[in-house]
Amino acid sequence: MREEDTVARLSGDEFVALLVGIQDVHDAALIANKIIATVSAPCRIEGSELRVSPSIGIAIFPNDGKNMEALMRNADTAMYHAKQAGRGQFSFFTPQMNETASRRWAISSALQRAIEQGEFALHYQPRVCATSGEIRGFEALIRWPQPNGEWIPPSQFIPIAEETGMIKAVGEWVIREACRQVQRWSAEALPVQPVSVNVSARQFRREGVVQTMKDILRETGVPPTMLEAELTESTIMADPVAAAKILHEIRGLGVHIAIDDFGTGYSSLACLKRFPVDTLKIDAAFVRDIATDPDDAAIVSAIIALAHHLKLTVVAEGVETADQMAFLVEHGCEELQGYYFSKPLPQDQARALLASGRIDVTH
Of the candidates 290, 325, 280, the one whose C-alpha atom is nearest the C-alpha of residue 132 is 325
Residue 98 in domain: no
Q: How many domains does the chain have?
A: 2
Q: What whole-number distance in Å separates Cα of residue 258 and Cα of residue 86?
A: 28
Cα-based distances in Å from 50 to 53, 86, 167: 10, 18, 29
Q: What is the longest distance spanned by two Cα atoms in the chain?
A: 77
Do 63 and 176 lie in one domain? The reply is no
Q: Do 170 and 254 belong together in one domain?
A: yes
Instruction: Tell me, yes or no, whether 146 and 215 share the same domain.
Output: yes
Pinpoint the alpha helices (H) of the chain: 25-40, 68-84, 95-117, 154-164, 167-187, 201-205, 209-220, 233-237, 240-252, 269-274, 284-287, 294-309, 322-330, 347-356
- φ, ψ for residue 286 (rounded to 5)? -80, -35
CATH number at residue 58: 3.30.70.270
Q: How big is the CA angle at 224 (ends 222 and 230), to the nearest 5 degrees?
A: 115
DSSP 134: B
Q: Which domain holds residue 46?
A: 6-93
Which among 93, 119, 148 is the end of a domain?
93
d(CA 124, CA 151): 16
| Judgement on whether residues 321 and 174 belong to the same structural domain of the protein | yes
Rounded to whole angstroms, how far apart are CA atoms 338 and 344? 9
What is the full per-residue pLDDT of the chain (363 aa) written as tens digits? 888 999 999 888 899 999 988 888 888 888 999 999 999 999 999 988 998 989 999 999 998 999 999 999 999 989 988 988 887 899 999 888 877 777 777 888 899 999 999 899 999 999 999 999 999 999 999 999 988 888 999 988 998 898 888 999 999 999 999 999 999 999 999 999 999 999 998 889 877 899 999 999 999 999 999 999 999 988 888 888 889 999 999 999 999 999 998 877 666 666 777 899 999 999 999 999 998 999 999 999 999 999 998 899 999 999 999 999 999 999 999 999 999 999 999 999 999 999 998 888 776
Residues 168 and 233 both lie in one domain: yes
Instruction: Give the C-alpha separation, 172 to 267, whole Å.
Output: 27
Q: Does one domain contain both 274 and 196?
A: yes
